[in-house]
Amino acid sequence: QHVSFFSRSTSHAALIYPWETYASFRALEFNTLISLVSALDFTLHVGYPTSEHVVPGCPVYVERIARAKHGSDTGSYDRNGEFGEVDFGRIWDFDNEKKDGLYFSEIVNMWIANRNMFDVAGFLFQVFLWGSFWLLAADGERILRKEDVRRLYDGSIFL
């Protein structure tokens, strides 16, 4: 659901083009360089698996977003794109102080624990996703709060 935020057009809401991803990151107040790199990274990692063509074009097909599930992730979404409460709860095993949030160092520990052998692309995409989200939503104490992560997963953080 949260991927819908990145579709900026009403005429082709089922597709997300790189310029829409760029505009979305700019709307979230990321700088030009991060927005550009994010648009390219998102399109490469998500556009290809959602395409129906052997040689895919550049848009991300929203209706097939579950195909873009990558390795080295938290497992909070299953292969069908369904949210799993139990797997979401495992994220908070890395909250060493039981503060209902994660410091950046705890997120790094989670990346390392979730890393699949030989899955460089999935690992780097996970670093990109969680790093971007920490920059976006960490509070003044530099903690990414559990309720904000839940809002990311359900898409309400973008409303």
* Per-residue pLDDT reduced to its tens digit, 74-89: 888 888 888 889 999 9
What HEC string does the chain produce?
Answer: CHHHHHCCCCCCCCEECHHHHHHHHHHCCCCHHHHHHHHHHHHHHHHHHHCCCCCCCCCEEHHHHHHHCCCCCCCCECCCCCECHHHHHHHHHHCCCCCCEEEHHHHHHHHHHHCCCCCHHHHHHHHHHHHHHHHHHCCCCCEEEHHHHHHHHHCHHHC
**Confidence at residue 56, expressed as pLDDT on a 0 to 100 scale:** 62
> What pLDDT is stored for residue 55 in this prediction?
67
Among 29-38, 55-64, 92-101, 107-116, name the one with the lowest average pLDDT: 55-64
What pLDDT score was predicted for residue 14? 86
pLDDT single digits (tens) 35-57: 999 898 888 888 888 888 776 66
Average of pLDDT values for 57-67?
85
pLDDT, tens digit (0-9, with 9 covering 90-100), for 64-75: 888 888 888 888
Residue 1 has pLDDT above 70, yes or no: no
